[in-house]
Structure 1
Amino acid sequence: MPIVPKVFMLVIGLGLSIHPIYLILSRRLLMGLISKYKHWVVVVGIASVFSVLQWSDQALAQDTGKLRTAVDETRQHELPSMLQLSLKESIMLALENNLDVKVDKLNKDVRLTDIVFELAKFDPTIEANVNHQQRAFPLNSTIDPITFQETEETPLSQVSGQNFGVELQKRLQTGTDIEVEIENERTDLLFFNQSPGGRLDPEYRSNVNFSIAQPLLRNFGIDINKTFINVAKNNMAIEEHIFEGELMELVEDVTSTYWDLVLSIELLKVEQESLRAAQSLLEHNRAQVKAGVLPSIEILVAEADVASREEDVLVMAQDIEDDEDELRRLLNLPNMPLIEKLTVIPVDLPRLTTDQISLQDAIETAFRKRPDIKERKRDLTNRGLEVNHAKNQLLPDLSLEGGMGLFGLGGDFKDDFAGLRNNDSFHYQAGLVLSVPLGNRSAKSTYNKRRIEAETALLTLKNLELDITVEVKKALREINTDLKRIKVAQLSTKLAQRKAMEEEQRYKAGLSTSHDVLMFQRDLAEAQGREIEAIIDFNKALVYAQHVLGTILEDADITMA
C-alpha cells in the first residue's frame, strides 16, 4: 500500500474514532485527498464507525454494571439483614398487612351495600311530566257551531293544550303504598279560527289526588315487609363472624409458625453442639492414633459421624429458612419483599405452664364465643325469617284502597288554583280489592323450599355443636399430654447427659470405643430435640385450644373494630 493512503487512513481513523484532527488540515488538501483516494475513505470510514460503536457498547456496559451495583448497594443499605420480632409484634404485623384480611374487609363492605339495597326499596319516588299537544280535525256537520247557521265549508275544530304533572310515591315498612299527584292542564279550543262563545278559553284545569293502599293479608305488617332488610343485616353479622374466624385462624397460623421457627433454631443449636462434640472426638482420635494408642479405624468412624452430623446441620438450617419464609408470608412485611434475604430472630420464649379448665366449662365457652357457631345461629335466624315470609305469601291478596281529590277550573292559572282552595269540587273513594291465585303453586313451592332450608340449617348447627365438642376434648387432651411429655423429656435429657458423660469417661479410660461414645452423643441430641419439640408442641396446643374455645383474639388483646 502507498505511503499516502496509509497516512490518510491513519488521519481519518484518528479523526473519526478519537478526535476531529482532520479539521486542522486545509480544506483544499483534504478534498483533494478524498477525491483521489475515494475507496480508502469508504474503507476507513466503515472501520472507524465499527470502532466507535464498539467503544460505545463497552462504555454502556460499564455504566450499566455500575448502575446495577449502585442499586444493589442501595437496596442492601435500605433493607435490614436481620429482624427481631416478638410474638405480639408478629401478630400485629400480620393483622395489619395480611392480604387475606384485606380481602375479608372488602367482603364486609359488600354486605353493607346489601343492606342499603334492601332499604332502598322503601325510598320515595318522584315523577314529573310535561307535554304539549295540538289537534285539528273536521266536524261531522255543516252547521257552524258558533252561529248555528249552515255553511258551505266543513267546520274545523282545533284543540291545543299543555299539561304538567308531579307524582310522589312512597311505600312504608307496614306495606302501605301512598301516592300524591298534582296536575295542571291548559286547553285552547277554536272553531273556524274563532273562540267559541259560552265557555272559558283558554281553559285551566287542576287537580290534586291522594291515594292509599294497605294490604290486609299478604304483605301485611312491618315484620313481613322488613324480612329482607333483617336478612341483609344478619348476613352482615355473618360476614363479621366469618371475618372474626379468619382473624382467629391467622393468629393461630402466625403463632404456630413463630414457634416452628423457634423450634428449628433450637434444634439447629442442638445439632451444632452435637457436631462440635463429634469434631472434638475426631481430633482426640487423630491424636491417639498418631500416638499409636488407637487403631486408624477409629478416625474413620469419627469422620463418618462428623459428616453425618454436618448433614443434619444443613437440613436444620434449611428448615429455619423455610419457617422464616412462611412467617414473612403471613406478615407480608411492607418494603421487605420475600425475594430478599432476611433473618428473622424470635425473641419470646415458650411457656411451660397453663391455667386448668374443666371440660364442661371449655365446651360452654366454645358454644358462647366461637364465631362459626354464631354464624350458624344467624343463618338459622335468616332461614326462619324466610319461612315466615314465604308462609305469608300463601295468603290471598286483600287490600284496602282509598283516595280523595280536589279539582279546580278557571280562565287563568290564578282562578284555577283558587277553585282548589274553595274545596267545592272534590272526589273520594274507598273499597276492598281481593286477588286469589288459583292453585298458588309458585308460593307453595317457595314455602316448601324455605322450610327445607330451615331444617337443613338446624341440622348443620347441631352437627357443628358435635364437632366443637370433639375439638374441645381433643385440645384439652393435647395440652395434658404435652405437659406430661415435657416432664418425661426433661428426665430423658438428664439421663442421656449422664450416660454420655460416663461413656466419655470410660472411653478415656480405654473401656469403650468411638462408636459407643458417638452413639451416646446421638442419644443425647435426640433427647434434647424431643424435649424442645415437647415444649413447642405444648405452646402450639395452647394456641389451638384458644382457637377451639373462641378466645384466641381475647387472649391476644385483640378487639374487633
Structure 2
Amino acid sequence: MKSRSSMNRYGTLLSLTFLSACAPVGILDNDTEDWHPAPERINRIDPVDLMARSTVDPQAPDEAMEAMLDREVPIEEPDEIRPIEIADVRRSVLENNLDLRTEMISPAIANANLSAEQAKFESTFFAGYTRNDQGVATNLEQGDPTSSDEFLTGLRLPLATGGDITLDTLATRTDLGNAANLLGEREPWQSNVRFSIAQPLLRGAGLDANTASIRIAGWNRDIADARLKLAATRILADSDRAYWNLFAAWRELEVRKSQYELAVSQMERAQRRVAAGDIPEIEVIRARSGVGRTLESIIRADGDLRRQQRVVKRIMNVPGLPLADGVGLEPATEPNPLRIELDASVLAEEAVENRMEMLELELQVAIDAMNVDLRRNEALPVFAFDYRYSIQGDDTGFGSAYSALGDSDSHRIGVNGEIPIGNEIRESRLSAAVLQRVQRLATRSARSLAIRSEVYDSVDRLRQSWQSILAARLETVLAARTVAGEQRQFDVGLRTSTDVLDAQSRLADAQSREVRSLADYQIALVDIAFATGTLLGRTQVDFILDAEGSMAGD
C-alpha cells in the first residue's frame, strides 16, 4: 500500500509538473487576436472631389481652346526619352517581371510536395510510458491492489508494399500489493523484445498502390514546369507584342504631328495669299479649321502612346523606370518586313508536339490512368496478414530482466478481412475516375484541333499583313504625290484649302495604315512563334533548378 500511495503521489506530481510546464510554452494560452479590417473600410464609400484635387486651376473649354491653338503641339513632352530595343525588353522581363516571378514559385511548391510524398516511407521512432492503477471497486473485489508501469520504445519502418515492420521493446514493472510482499516477493520486472510485420494482401497492397502518390506528385511537378514554360513563353510573347504596339503608337504620333505641321503650313500659305489679295479670307478660316481637326488626332495618338509606354514599363518592371509619364520610351529596333512563305501544315504538327498545353494534358492523362488504378484497388476487400514474434525475460530489476531475455518466447499470427456490403461508394468513385480520364482524352483532341487552327490563323495574318504593307506603302506614295499636286493647284488658285487639307488627311491616314501594317507584321511573326511553342529570334531561354528546387530563367 505504501508503494501504491507513493506511485499515486508521483503520478499527481508528474501531472502538476506537466501542467506547470505547459504554461510557459503557451499550450494552454489562447492569446491569438483575430484581425479584421476597420468597419469604415467596409461599410462606407468615401466621396472624392476631383476638381478640388486638381494641380492647376480648372478651365472651361472656351478658355482653354485659344490657348491650345496658340501652342505648337498640344501635348506635354516627357522630361526624358530613353531609346529601348526589343532585346532590352526581353532581358528585363526575364529578370524583373512580377507575373513570371509568381509563376516560378509553382515548381518549387510542386517540388516540395514531391519531397513530402517521397518521405512517406521514413522510419518512425516512438516511445511511451503508461501507468495502470485499478479502481477502488476492483481493489475491494480482489482484496489487494495491482498496479503497473510500462515503458515502451521502438522503431517502425513503413514498407513500399503497404505494410510495416515494427521492432520494439516493452519493460513492465508490476506492483502486486501487500500479498506479494508478505510472501517475500519484490516488484517484478518483465522485459519484451518484439518483432512484428503487418501486410495488406488486397486493398492497399503492392508497390503500385503505395507509390502512386509519389508518381502523381512527380507528374504534378512536371505539370508545374510545363506551366512555367508556357507562362514564360506567353509573357515573352506579350512583351514582344507590347514593344511593337509601342512602336506603332510612337510612329502614329509622329504621323499626326507631321499632319499638324502640314496643316499649319497650309494655314500660313493661305494667310500670305489673303494678305496679297489673291484669295478670300474664307480660305484662312478653312485652313484654321483643318489645324483644329488635326489636334484631336494628336491628342488621341499621344494618349495611346502613354498607355503603351505604361504597358511596356509594367512588363519590364525595371527599377528607376516609373509608370509615370516623366520618362518616355522610344523604340530603337525597327521592323524588318520580308516576304516569306511558311508551310502551315508542318508548323501545325510542330505546334502540337511543342506546345506545353499538350504536354500538360499528356501528364494529366497519365495521372487519370493512375487514379483509375487506385480507385480499382480501393474497391477491393480488406484482407491483411500480421505476424509477431516476442522474446521475454523477467527478474527483480530492470537490467536483470533484460539480461534474462530468452527465458520464454511467443509467436502470433493473424489474418483479418472486411467485405463491404454493396461497395457502392468505391464503385462510384471508380466510375468517376474512368469518366474523368475519358473527358481528358476528349479535351486533348479538342486542344490539338484548337492549336492547329491557331497556327493556320497566325500564318494567314502574316500573309495579310505583308499584303497590307505593300498596299499601304503604295497608297502613301500616291497620297504624297496628291498632296504636292493639290498644293501647286492651290498656289495658282485652282484648289481651296479644304482640298489641300483633305489630301493631307488622306496622306496621314495612309502613313498610319503603313505603320500599323508594319507592327501587325511583326506581331504576326510573334504569334506564329507562340502558336508553335517557341520564341521568335535566335535566343533560347533555359530554366535551371537552384539549390532549393525552384526554377530560374537564363
**What is the TM-score of this pair, normalised by structure 1?**
0.77
The answer to whether the Cα contact below 8 Å between 1:104 and 1:243 also exists between their aligned partners in 2 is yes
Cα shift at 1:206: 0.7
> Quick check: 1:196 aligned with 2:179?
no
Change (3 A) 1:243 1:181: same
Q: 2:307 aligns with which of 322, 330, 346?
A: 322
> Quick check: 1:185 aligned with 2:172?
yes
Change (3 A) 1:160 1:398: closer
Matches within 5 A, 1:369-384: 369-384=354-369
Cα shift at 1:231: 1.8
Partner of 2:71: none
Does 1 or 2 have the higher relative contact order (CA < 8 Å, sep 6+)? 2
Q: Which whole-Å CA distance do the structure 2 matches of 1:138 and 1:281 have between them?
A: 118
- For residues 342-380 of structure 1, the C-alpha deviation after alignment (integer angstroms, 9 at most, x for no partner) is 211221112213764312221122112111111112111
Partner of 2:352: 367
Change (3 A) 1:246 1:495: same
Partner of 2:380: 395
Q: Mean Cα displacement is larger for which, 89-98 or 187-196? A: 187-196
Change (3 A) 1:555 1:545: farther
Q: Which whole-Å CA distance do the structure 1 matches of 2:200 and 2:464 have between them?
A: 65
Change (3 A) 1:140 1:394: closer
Partner of 2:499: 516
Change (3 A) 1:438 1:272: same
Q: Which amino acid aligns with 1:378?
A: L
- For residues 417-454 of structure 1, the C-alpha deviation after alignment (integer angstroms, 9 at most, x for no partner) is 2332xx45222234543322221112111101111111
Partner of 1:82: 81
Change (3 A) 1:480 1:275: same
Task: Tell me the SS of whatever aligns to 2:298.
Answer: helix
Cα shift at 1:520: 2.0
Partner of 1:111: 110
Partner of 1:410: 395
Q: Which amino acid aligns with 2:243?
A: Y
Partner of 1:526: 509
Matches within 5 A, 1:457-468: 457-468=440-451
The answer to whether the Cα contact below 8 Å between 1:201 and 1:411 also exists between their aligned partners in 2 is yes
The answer to whether the Cα contact below 8 Å between 1:180 and 1:209 also exists between their aligned partners in 2 is yes
Task: Tell me the SS of whatever aligns to 1:128.
Answer: strand
Q: Which whole-Å CA distance do the structure 2 matches of 1:215 and 1:162 have between them?
A: 33
Partner of 1:353: 338
Q: Mean Cα displacement is larger for which, 231-240 or 459-468? A: 231-240
- For residues 284-326 of structure 1, the C-alpha deviation after alignment (integer angstroms, 9 at most, x for no partner) is 2211121122222221221111121232222212211111122
The answer to whether the Cα contact below 8 Å between 1:190 and 1:196 also exists between their aligned partners in 2 is no
Q: Which whole-Å CA distance do the structure 1 matches of 2:311 and 2:139 have between them?
A: 95
Task: Tell me the SS of whatever aligns to 1:163.
Answer: strand
Cα shift at 1:131: 3.5
Q: Which whole-Å CA distance do the structure 1 matches of 2:487 and 2:525 have between them?
A: 39
Partner of 1:386: 371
Change (3 A) 1:136 1:495: closer
Q: Which whole-Å CA distance do the structure 2 matches of 1:436 and 1:294 have between them?
A: 107
Q: Mean Cα displacement is larger for which, 208-217 or 531-540? A: 208-217
> Quick check: 1:171 aligned with 2:158?
yes
Partner of 1:473: 456
Q: Which amino acid aligns with 2:409?
A: F
Partner of 1:52: none
Q: Mean Cα displacement is larger for which, 532-541 or 226-235? A: 226-235
- For residues 93-151 of structure 1, the C-alpha deviation after alignment (integer angstroms, 9 at most, x for no partner) is 2333333223323333333343344334333333211234566989999xxxxxxxxxx
Larger radius of gyration: 1
Cα shift at 1:160: 5.0
Q: Which whole-Å CA distance do the structure 2 matches of 1:521 and 1:374 have between them?
A: 54
Q: Identify unmatched segments of 5+ residues in structure 1.
A: 1-78, 142-153
Change (3 A) 1:445 1:280: same
Q: Mean Cα displacement is larger for which, 533-542 or 266-275? A: 266-275
Q: Which whole-Å CA distance do the structure 2 matches of 1:430 and 1:208 have between them?
A: 17
Q: Mean Cα displacement is larger for which, 374-383 or 79-88? A: 79-88
Matches within 5 A, 1:213-228: 213-228=198-213
Q: Which amino acid aligns with 1:491?
A: L
Identity of aligned residues (%): 27
Task: Tell me the SS of whatever aligns to 1:552.
Answer: coil
Q: Which amino acid aligns with 2:98?
A: L
The answer to whether the Cα contact below 8 Å between 2:354 and 2:533 also exists between their aligned partners in 1 is yes
Q: Mean Cα displacement is larger for which, 186-195 or 454-463? A: 186-195
Q: Identify unmatched segments of 5+ residues in structure 2.
A: 1-77, 545-554
Q: 1:304 aligns with which of 285, 289, 305?
A: 289
Q: Mean Cα displacement is larger for which, 235-244 or 174-183? A: 235-244
RMSD value, Cα? 2.8
Task: Tell me the SS of whatever aligns to 2:404.
Answer: helix
Q: Which whole-Å CA distance do the structure 2 matches of 1:361 and 1:536 have between them?
A: 25
Partner of 1:290: 275
Q: Which whole-Å CA distance do the structure 1 matches of 2:282 and 2:213 have between them?
A: 85
**What is the TM-score of this pair, normalised by structure 2?**
0.78
Partner of 1:20: none
Partner of 1:34: none
Partner of 1:433: 416
Partner of 2:42: none
- For residues 251-306 of structure 1, the C-alpha deviation after alignment (integer angstroms, 9 at most, x for no partner) is 22221121111111111111222222222222222111211222222212211111
How many pairs align?
467
Q: Which amino acid aligns with 1:90?
A: V
Change (3 A) 1:511 1:429: same
Partner of 1:62: none
